[in-house]
Amino acid sequence: MEEQQLSAIIPPEKHLSLLSKNEVNQLLDSSQGHLYHLLRNCALAVLNSGGALDNGRELLAKYPDFAIKVIQEQRGIKLDLSHAPAAAFVDGKLIKGIKEHLFAVLRDVIYVNDEIIDNPRFDLSQPHDITNAVFHILRNANIIRYQTNPNLVVCWGGHSIAMAEYAYTKEVGYQLGLRDMNICTGCGEGAMKGPMKGATIGHAKQRIVSGQYIGITEPGIIAAESPNPIVNDLVIMPDIEKRLEAFVRVGHGIIVFPGGVGTTEEILYLLGILLHPENEDIPFPLIFTGPKESESYFERINHFIGETLGFQAQQRYKIIIDDAERVARFMKSGIQQVRDFRKDKDDAFYFNWSLKINPEFQQPFMPTHENMAAIRLHKDMENHLLAANLRRAFSGIVAGNVKDEGVRAIEKHGLFELSGEEAIMRPIDELLASFVAEQRMKLPGSEYAPCYRIVNRS
């Protein structure tokens, strides 16, 4: 049976009710090019909230006639949607949370294009300006709350996880919510939705009505991880590197649940930053956790980190299995250390300016076949730089798995090729094989076709 598609004209909800004539002209029709297509693709992902697809290309192919148009009126703007997914509507009316997300997309697409990319004040080849750009995007999205104590916990994990793992993420979120902590995730399903869902109950019991459920995404991944409906603050960063920097700049601690390649990319990104000598004394609570059923998963992750980055990297996180209350207590204590440290250093609570982030973690990595083959993976590198290259390798596999441009590149040129020292390539191969075996690469029921092969173990 063919899925019903609906059309509607939508007034603003919460975000961005006014645009200049020039901004509207950039978005009027598909002949305008990049900006229109960026808005259309991100908007379609938002309208697909709760959908079963986790492949950007498949989503675009399913709704080829979907269109979005900005209508300029005397008193503001409206969005004209046609051939939109019917699941985004109730009795013919667009769900309010989805409407908020649509206008958040419009806000960020316009702001990033006009105020960041086309602004000579930002030289995005320079680390300082990249960090400033991240701050400005988050501030414009009202993500930053400067008058509150540190309480924002970033939760990472896969969108394709088992039911026991999902239930556990909700329990952890509940325990965090009871302790007045807010949640920030990648905004999708699975381990990104569960902590938010649990925290809403914890907040309700404590009569907390101002809870933040922040979703941070980027255009390349949003179609594969459509924003879940609990997100009340959505922000679209320009690329994966700025998305990752946003997490570590605004978060006061991070919890990692079971996941796949994308979660491993996030772990390597953070460990690479924490291993930099200038960040050695900066407190940053990091917990790996899951139910009893996930114990072997974290044993493999810990083993992989030990074999590639060594004992020093293993000391930067704590593994807690099947004890949600202990996770929340440990995180609460860790965030108190963050507060004390920043107060002593007269640093901001709302944005981690002190954290040193190397250009290797900030410059966008384009996962082309040439770039993937050129990644250097050898033990003679400094640990934080090896982590940067490992992160790039896993980022490329994420692109080949679910991002539209990555999927197209694989179809056109064949599999990505990775090469390096045997002592690194073997652990990578073993970890990726375990993800495939446990169906952590795709949503359950989806057949996984590898987008990579490992060659030239030196």
**Same domain for 226 and 78?**
no
Q: Assign residue 10 the CATH number of its domain.
A: 3.30.1850.10
pLDDT in tens, 380-427: 999 999 999 999 999 999 888 877 788 888 989 999 999 999 999 999
**Same domain for 91 and 48?**
yes
Choose among 400, 411, 412: nearest CA to 450: 400
**Mean pLDDT to the nearest integer, 306-318:** 96
Q: What is the pLDDT of residue 54?
A: 56
Dihedral angle sign, alpha carbons of residues 180, 186, 188, 191: negative
Q: What is the pLDDT of residue 1?
A: 43
Q: Assign residue 313 the CATH number of its domain.
A: 3.40.50.450
Q: What is the pLDDT of residue 440?
A: 82
How far apart (Å, rounded) are the C-alpha atoms in residues 170 and 380? 41
Residue 125 lies in a domain: no
**Same domain for 210 and 67?**
no
The answer to whether residues 112 and 92 touch, using CB atoms and an 8 Å cutoff, is: no
Report the percentage of the chain scoring pLDDT > 90. Answer: 58
| Residue keyed to tokens 């919510």 | 177
Residue 428 lies in a domain: yes
Q: What is the pLDDT of residue 455?
A: 82
- 53 pLDDT above the threshold of 60: no
pLDDT in tens, 115-174: 898 888 999 999 999 999 999 999 999 998 877 889 999 999 998 889 999 999 999 999
DSSP letter (8 states) at residue 447: P
How far apart (Å, rounded) are the C-alpha atoms in residues 176 and 206? 11
Identity of the residue numbered 155: C
pLDDT in tens, 231-265: 999 999 999 999 999 999 999 999 999 999 999 99
**Same domain for 71 and 185?**
no
How far apart (Å, rounded) are the C-alpha atoms in residues 66 and 211? 34
**Mean pLDDT to the nearest integer, 423-441:** 88
How far apart (Å, rounded) are the C-alpha atoms in residues 83 and 4? 8
Residue 135 lies in a domain: no
Q: Domain of 238? A: 144-458
Q: What's the gap between Cα 124 and its chain centre?
A: 20
Q: How many domains does the chain have?
A: 2
